[in-house]
Amino acid sequence: MIRFAKNVFMRNFMAFIFLFCSIFLSAQNDTVKIAANLTPEQMAQNDYNTGLNYLNNNNAIMAVQMFSQALTNLPNFDKAYYNRSLAYIKLNNYNDALKDINQCITLKPSDGAYFTKSLIFLYQNKKDSQEVALNKALSINPGNAEANYYFGMIHFNTQDYDKAIQYYQKAIQSKPDYAYAYNDLASCYMMKNNIDEAIKNYKEAINYNPNHPFLFNNLGSAYRQKKEYGKAIEAYTKATLLDENYFIAYINMGATKIEKGDFASAKSDFEAVIKKDAQNSAAYNGLSAVYIKQKDYQQAKSMASKAIMLDANNGQAYYNRAIARQLLREEDEACSDWKRALELGISPAKNFISSDCGN
Amino acid sequence: MIMKKISTLILILFIGVLTAQNVEFEKKNFPGRKDELKEALANIKQGNEIFEQGENFYRDALPLYLKAQDFNPNNAWLNFRIGICYLNSFDKKKAFDYIQKAFLLNPQVDPKIRYYTGRVYHLNSEWDKAISEYKMYQSQLKSSQKEEMKDVTKKIDECNNGKVLSQTPIRVWVDNLGPEVNSPYHEYSPVITADESVLMFTSRRPGGVGNKMDEIKNEYFEDIWVSYKSGKRYTQAVDLGPPVNTENHDAAVCLSPDGSKLITYQGASNGGDLFISYLVGKQWSKPENLGKAINTKYHESSASFSYDGKILYFVSDRDGGLGGHDIYYSEINEKGKFEKAVNLGPTINTEYDDEAVYMMPDGKTMYFCSKGHNTIGGYDVFKTTLENGQWTKPENIGIPINTPDDDAFFALAGNGRHAYYSSAALKGYGGMDLYKITILGPEKQPLLNTQDQLIAMAAKPVNNLKTEQAVEPTKPKMTLLKGIVYDAKTNAPLEAILNLIDNEKNIILASFKSNSATGKYLVTLPSGKNYGIAVQREGYLFHSENFILPADADYQEITKDIPLKKIEIGNAIVLKNIFFDFDKATLRPESYNELDRLLKLLTENPSIKVELSAHTDSKGSDEYNMKLSQNRAQSVVTYLISKGIPADRMIAKGYGETQPIDTNDTEEGRQNNRRVEFKIISIK
């Protein structure tokens, strides 16, 4: 039912990294003091603090400069290497980031440093090295929640959901309010088609973080899977209330209503998205699906065409337009659309190319 | 209570008023219109004379009755009579208004008025109304009217079947084949080649051989007509002409998948018999009677060969059946004679007519039409499959293909997506027409761009592609192999024998011939076998092909033109049905058919000396491959020596991987490179 795209968008973990760094650093900042007559060590500490300030204010270039200055004065300053590594990550300079984190580890190995190293490997798409670094982090601190969480992700991506569950559960054990871990754990259960357990864990995630619309969206999808359409719609609605521009929830809600047979209301959901975002291809595709169900194939074709015009890579829209075209007796055109949908990764189109196209 | 009485009174008065509207053909009702009345009465009288000749003549009486109707549209009897005529015409639906009006004018116009009102509702698929009318009629029957009771009870059952099947109509397009094929007269019994390129059918239109009327049926004699596929349409149909068509009834019964054999029905022969004609070049041979095992003094009307041509399924109303026409089968023995016919039994045959048998080229699916089983009226098309030697319970293939009127002669194309049949109920060009069915399969569900963020740390949500349930393709699991056999040097088309071999059982499944004029051939191969195909012609080296089709291999069409090489020095062939154990030189038993063919060639051509060479792919070392190929070539030679071919007529040669004929980068290419070849090196 649910297909997980393997490419998790790695570069967007920055927020998490800096959140993690802040925690790591805040425990140490109180030891850094400024005196009138500055020793090289004190100067290094001053530069370090300034660099940290730049880093927290998203000025990675200046942060690198200040951490480098600090290291000139204090070459074995492990925290400066650590934070300069983070700044390099922010600048997508993974090679220098790796050098710095290795230096930090040489000076003072820690689970946090190894975890950061694992993230660099993640960004470099070096999965084996990532796992080695995560294992190192866990060998220092088996309860490192983030390391366990990321191990969970690795196994999720390889569709080894049982192992992923074990790691997510360890992460939760170390950090009982870890909402993201609950979400991912729930998603593992979704993939295993254990919907009740998924719902339970999505609800836990919401309990610890009730402000993330995607958690409600996922809960809605779990209910939809169970065909508990009322509860699904309720969850999607909450997602839209948290963020009125969270179009994904509107689209999912419309899809749920189509499954429920409430076509008019589904239409309203898609139209609501279009009202806010006239360029939303998915919403037009949703309308095409409604019209197909209502057997208005001319309108279905028109809406799918609009969706394709807005997003030429919307494979689902090609697929739907093919359905409409076939029933409008435009069989050759329908087959062309199914072929295009297949090129765009919509594998169900293959069945129809095989069964409905040809002489 | 009072209200009920008042209602009844009103109803009686209402009926009375309507009854009063019935206008008899009497002078007092038409003052001053004496001559017109006289003419109307004369038309009725003349119409009655024709009507009394029987139901085949009702439609000829219609114009006369309709003239009288123009003069007096409010006579219950005449309306009823016109309704009956229409029910026996090419335009049955017109009966509806007349029957209904007759009832309104006089509910007692005829004892069967309720029955016929039921009939018109039935034909209109108004199931509940039809049942209600039939039941009213049923309640009026006396216990002695057993035939009528049986008939109306069956009609009620048919309506109930219709109610059930109309809840789940099948997704098809039913398209009239158009004026190129259909005419204002009857067209039925379409037969097609597996690739739909040739369509033959029976028509009762004028313009056939003899162009004569069947005076009993009051229609033209049946003739076979032919049309060819051109793009998405069929060409203007032409009469197949003599010798297939005669001046009497000639009907299309069965066309072999390759279009080279045609079974016909001849009405003039012994109560109606089955014949067979062969396409020789561009000419059809004079039809030959299928013989006494098939034909009797009774009516043999339709037939279909099994895919390998070894069993004939046919229809007869001979004694000993289960009622009406039944379906029988007869196996063809090794001498090519039909064995004693066997009734398919009560799973398939009913007490009613079971007709129009059609055996799919997949070898296990049968379509036929029947007035029994759960028909919704008249003949309906049914499907049954052979599972573990038993025919499954026939399944009504459903609405809208089946209608309350006659629907028959279903023929499915090899691709399983198209079918052809004849129907009386649908609006066409007149009489029964031919229709093309496009099978759409289950309803296709639209896809939405739904998304979930399954991994919280992923900033972008994950597409939640809702995949549709797999569509069970309607395509049969078989391969349709077609092409042209031609002379490798001159490119001239050749007539050749194609033997279809089951390599595992080492038996010839069937033999076919390519067309002498065009060289065309078409063979259907049901999935689940290792097939060898040997193409042979005197004076030529044979050509072999191998197709291993797993049981789950879907329908596919393969076009393979086959060049035949003359027996001349230097000519070589690849022996595609010689198999060895993996990495060994031991011949596998599946090879014996091919080896025996080779043996026959060498025996029949004692003057030729040949080289038998073996080749490998590039896997393995050069030295190993050279040795393996030499041993394999020697194995073939040793086999032939053991069968009596002198050793000095053969040279065994291993070439290893030195002479590839395809790439070694793909499995298919490597498979082509692993081969045994046969080359003529001298002719004394």
Q: Report the pLDDT value the prediction gives residue B7, as an integer from 0 to 100.
A: 54
Question: Are A255 and B466 a contacting pair at CB < 8 A?
Answer: yes
Minimal C-alpha gap between A68 and chain B (Å): 31
What single DSSP character describes residue A12?
Answer: G
Minimal C-alpha gap between A40 and chain B (Å): 40
Strand extents, DSSP E, B371-477: 380-387, 390-391, 395-396, 407-412, 418-423, 433-439, 451-452, 462-463
- Cβ-based contacts of B196 with chain A (< 8 Å): 359
- Cβ-based contacts of B446 with chain A (< 8 Å): 258, 288-289, 292-293, 300, 316, 319-320, 323
Strands B478-487 and B556-559, by their bridges, are parallel
Question: Are A356 and B440 a contacting pair at CB < 8 A?
Answer: yes
Cα A200 to Cα A194, A218, B78: the distances in Å are: 10, 12, 77
Give B129's contacts (C-beta < 8 A, 6+ positions apart). B121
Cα B131 to Cα A121, A260, B103, B104, B205: the distances in Å are: 77, 35, 17, 19, 36
**Does B647 lie at the interface with A, CB-CB under 8 angstroms?**
no
For A301, nearest residue in chain B (alpha carbons):
B446
Does pLDDT of A22 surpass 50? no
Question: Are A351 and B457 a contacting pair at CB < 8 A?
Answer: no
Question: Are B452 and A286 a contacting pair at CB < 8 A?
Answer: no
For B474, nearest residue in chain A (alpha carbons):
A355
- Cβ-based contacts of B459 with chain A (< 8 Å): 9, 12-13
Question: Are B466 and A184 a contacting pair at CB < 8 A?
Answer: no
Which of A3, A218, A251 is opposite residue B465, by nearest beta carbon?
Answer: A3
Q: What pLDDT band is residue B458 in, cutting at 50, 70 and 90? A: low
Tokens of B682: 């001298």
For B438, nearest residue in chain A (alpha carbons):
A356
Average pLDDT over residues A141-148: 92
Question: Are A316 and B452 a contacting pair at CB < 8 A?
Answer: no
Minimal C-alpha gap between B408 and chain A (Å): 24
Q: Report the pLDDT value the prediction gives residue A8, as an integer from 0 to 100.
A: 37
For A345, nearest residue in chain B (alpha carbons):
B465
Q: Interhelix angle for A78-90 vs A60-73, to 10°? A: 160
**Does B148 lie at the interface with A, CB-CB under 8 angstroms?**
no
Distance, CA of B415 to CA of A28 (rounded, Å): 75
For A225, nearest residue in chain B (alpha carbons):
B466
Question: Are A359 and B196 a contacting pair at CB < 8 A?
Answer: yes
Question: Are A12 and B458 a contacting pair at CB < 8 A?
Answer: yes
**Does B619 lie at the interface with A, CB-CB under 8 angstroms?**
no
For A153, nearest residue in chain B (alpha carbons):
B455
Amino acid residing at B161: N
Percent of chain B residues topping a pLDDT of 70: 94
Distance, CA of A63 to CA of B583 (rounded, Å): 67
Burial label, B518 (beta-carbon count in 10 A; 0-12, 13-18, 19+): middle
Does pLDDT of B216 surpass 50? yes
Q: For the segment A93-131, what is each residue's pLDDT rounded down to a tens digit?
A: 999 999 999 999 999 999 989 999 998 998 888 988 999
**Does B559 lie at the interface with A, CB-CB under 8 angstroms?**
no
Does pLDDT of A228 surpass 90? yes
- Cβ-based contacts of A187 with chain B (< 8 Å): 452, 454-455
Q: What is the 3-state secondary structure (H, E, C) of B172-231?
A: EEEEECCCCCCCCCCEEEEEECCCCCEEEEEECCCCCCCCCEECCCCEECCEEEEEEEEC
Tokens of B225: 């007509």
Q: B interface mutation test: which of A115, A119, A209, A214 has the most B CBs within 10 A?
A: A214
Amino acid residing at A136: K
Does pLDDT of B362 surpass 50? yes
Question: Are A255 and B454 a contacting pair at CB < 8 A?
Answer: no
**Does B111 lie at the interface with A, CB-CB under 8 angstroms?**
no
Distance, CA of B15 to CA of B21 (rounded, Å): 10
A137 within 8 A of A171, measured Cβ to Cβ: no
Question: Are B468 and A348 a contacting pair at CB < 8 A?
Answer: yes
Chain-centre distance of CA B370, in angstroms? Answer: 15
Q: Report the pLDDT value the prediction gives residue B353, as an integer from 0 to 100.
A: 96
DSSP of B32-52: T-HHHHHHHHHHHHHHHHHHT
Does pLDDT of A35 surpass 50? no
- Cβ-based contacts of B458 with chain A (< 8 Å): 8-9, 12
Question: Are B471 and A281 a contacting pair at CB < 8 A?
Answer: no
Q: What is the 3-state secondary structure (H, E, C) of B268-290?
A: CCCCCEEEEEEEECCEECCCEEC
Q: For the segment B103-115, what is each residue's pLDDT rounded down to a tens digit?
A: 999 999 999 999 9
**Does B444 lie at the interface with A, CB-CB under 8 angstroms?**
yes
Question: Are B451 and A13 a contacting pair at CB < 8 A?
Answer: no
Is the pLDDT higher at B44 or at B430?
Answer: B44
Give A265's contacts (C-beta < 8 A, 6+ positions apart). A257
Question: Are A281 and B470 a contacting pair at CB < 8 A?
Answer: no
B305 within 8 A of B256, measured Cβ to Cβ: yes
Q: Report the pLDDT value the prediction gives residue A319, as an integer from 0 to 100.
A: 97
Minimal C-alpha gap between B427 and chain A (Å): 20
Q: For the segment B494-540, what is each residue's pLDDT rounded down to a tens digit?
A: 999 988 888 888 788 878 888 888 898 888 888 888 888 889 898 89
Tokens of A146: 């983030």
Distance, CA of A208 to CA of A206 (rounded, Å): 5
Q: Report the pLDDT value the prediction gives residue B454, as an integer from 0 to 100.
A: 79
Q: Report the pLDDT value the prediction gives residue B3, as an integer from 0 to 100.
A: 53
Question: Are A9 and B459 a contacting pair at CB < 8 A?
Answer: yes
Helix (H, G, I), strand (E, B) or coil at B62: helix
Beta partners for residue B316, in sequence order? B300, B326
Which among A75, A74, A68, A122 has a CA at the least distance from the CA of A96? Answer: A68
- In this structure, the dihedral spanned by the alpha carbons of residues A290, A291, A292 and A298, taken in order and rounded to 10 degrees, is -160
Q: Report the pLDDT value the prediction gives residue B116, as an integer from 0 to 100.
A: 96
DSSP of A29-48: HTT----SS--HHHHHHHHH
Kind and range of the H or E run holding B499: strand B497-502
Which of A190, A248, A355 is opposite residue B451, by nearest beta carbon?
Answer: A248
Kind and range of the H or E run holding A215: helix A213-225
B207 within 8 A of B264, measured Cβ to Cβ: no
Which among B215, B201, B296 has a CA at the least distance from the CA of B244? Answer: B201
Which ipTM did the prediction report? 0.75
Does pLDDT of A10 surpass 70? no
For A289, nearest residue in chain B (alpha carbons):
B446
Q: A interface mutation test: which of B464, B475, B552 has the most A CBs within 10 A?
A: B464
Average pLDDT over residues B611-628: 90
Does pLDDT of B19 surpass 60? no
For A2, nearest residue in chain B (alpha carbons):
B464
Minimal C-alpha gap between B45 and chain A (Å): 51
Longest dimension (CA), chain B: 116
Is the pLDDT higher at B463 or at B601?
Answer: B601
Q: A interface mutation test: which of B457, B475, B554 has the most A CBs within 10 A?
A: B457
B64 within 8 A of B50, measured Cβ to Cβ: yes
Mean pLDDT of chain B: 88
For A311, nearest residue in chain B (alpha carbons):
B449
Question: Are B452 and A355 a contacting pair at CB < 8 A?
Answer: no
Q: What pLDDT band is residue A1 in, cutting at 50, 70 and 90? A: very low
Report pTM. Answer: 0.73
Does pLDDT of B437 surpass 80? yes
Q: For the segment B28-76, what is each residue's pLDDT rounded down to a tens digit?
A: 999 999 999 999 999 999 999 999 999 989 999 999 999 999 999 999 9
Burial label, B137 (beta-carbon count in 10 A; 0-12, 13-18, 19+): buried
Residue whose structure tokens are 């008023």: B17
Question: Are B449 and A351 a contacting pair at CB < 8 A?
Answer: no
Question: Are B474 and A355 a contacting pair at CB < 8 A?
Answer: yes
In whole angstroms, how large is the CA radius of gyration of chain A? 25
A232 within 8 A of A264, measured Cβ to Cβ: no
Which of B417, B454, B467 is opposite residue A348, by nearest beta carbon?
Answer: B467
Angle (nearest 5°) at CA A345 between A343 and A348: 100
Residues 175-234 of B with CB under 8 A from A: 195-196
Minimal C-alpha gap between A134 and chain B (Å): 17
Which of the given ranges, A35-39, A348-352, B37-41, B211-215, has the highest pLDDT on average?
B37-41
Is the pLDDT higher at B491 or at A203?
Answer: A203
Angle (nearest 5°) at CA B511 between B505 and B513: 155
Q: Report the pLDDT value the prediction gives residue B552, as an integer from 0 to 100.
A: 75
Tokens of B397: 């293939």
Average pLDDT over residues B322-341: 92
Q: What pLDDT band is residue B165 in, cutting at 50, 70 and 90? A: very high
For A349, nearest residue in chain B (alpha carbons):
B468
Residue whose structure tokens are 């990532």: A130
Q: Report the pLDDT value the prediction gives residue B1, as an integer from 0 to 100.
A: 47
Distance, CA of B324 to CA of B332 (rounded, Å): 25
Of the candidate ranges B27-36, B273-282, B576-585, B604-613, the one whose mean pLDDT is the lowest:
B576-585
φ, ψ for residue B360, nearest 5 deg: -70, 150
Question: Are B457 and A329 a contacting pair at CB < 8 A?
Answer: no
Longest dimension (CA), chain A: 90
Q: A with B: how many residue pairs have Cβ under 8 Å apart? A: 145
Which among A352, A3, A353, A337 has a CA at the least distance from the CA of B471? Answer: A352
Q: What pLDDT band is residue B17 in, cutting at 50, 70 and 90? A: very low
φ, ψ for residue B168, nearest 5 deg: -130, 70
